[in-house]
Amino acid sequence: MIYVVGSLNMDISATVARFPRAGETVAAESVLTSPGGKGANQATAIGKLGGDCAMLGKVGPDVFGEQMINNLKSYGVRTEHVTASQCESGTALIWVHKGNNRIVLNSGANGTLTETDVSEGLKNAKAGDILMLQLEVPLDTVAHALRVGKRKGMITMLNPAPAVQLGLEIYENSEIITPNETETQILTGIMPDCEVNVALAVKKFREMGASNVIITLGKTGSAVAVGKEITLIPAHKVKVTDTTAAGDTYVGAVAVKLSEGENIVDAAKFASYASALKITRKGAAVAIPTLKEVEEFIALRNATK
């Protein structure tokens, strides 16, 4: 079982010809409303890629909350521990321009997820289960979840986004940490823009207590640090439409393969295919590929080598 503790947001995504300057209004070329949030996106990726997943989170007593729960259910994600808050559901306002995005986030109900909620949601978790977290819910709740997961012998994964400075206990309780380039620079002070800097960033993460590190490097690919080895996995060249939820697709794919018994490096190789396919599509959760689609994509890529 894979447990995802994290955020659920309704994404309102506008494609624009260019990002507006301060005080300026620009016309949207298109607008898409779809369920998102890093936690829900990762749970969706797990469900669509064939994993057994349970989501722990909060939504508001509004139509967005109902839609987000139903969306997770449609992908086979268990939602009995997604509960209602008195706050409005979280929302994300997303501008997309030439495949890149800028996001304004309102945490809403996500900010009300408590340690008690997590303890209740994880009461049946067991050793070997996977626990995934991000940083769009209260940091105290994240730290508590990691403590619970570590105590139970779960495989704990932390996607430190959006990046904030973290206590050493969080690193020590995270078996796998999965930052992107920007998050790596914020957390370590090192931009992983070459192999030397990747190695320095990995060393810094380990000095803070992290065990295994996966740094996603955008169009460069990803770097997977397990033991003394750092494996560089190249990105797959595709036509980029929208990078929203690419990282969530990647880490969700890693979790699915780990739950099936694969090692971290092989799981990351599969994840690189899944995230590459995702960025060819517009939107967040709705654009995350299924297991069949990723397998077909891999077969096509291998056939054309």
Q: What is the pLDDT of residue 305?
A: 67
The answer to whether 113 and 138 are in contact (CB under 8 A) is yes
Task: Give, for 2, the enclosing helix (H) or strand (E).
Answer: strand 2-5
User: Of 11, 129, 248, 266, which one is the catalytic site residue?
Assistant: 248
Closest CA to 251 of 219, 213, 296: 213
Q: Catalytic: 248?
A: yes
Q: What is the reported pTM?
A: 0.92
The answer to whether 33 and 10 are in contact (CB under 8 A) is yes
Domains of the chain: 2-303 (3.40.1190.20)
pLDDT along the chain (305 residues), means of 10: 96 90 92 90 98 98 95 97 96 86 90 98 98 98 98 98 95 98 98 97 97 95 96 94 91 98 98 96 88 96 80
What stretches of the chain show up as alpha helix (H) in DSSP? 38-48, 63-74, 115-121, 139-152, 168-172, 181-188, 195-207, 246-259, 264-278, 291-303
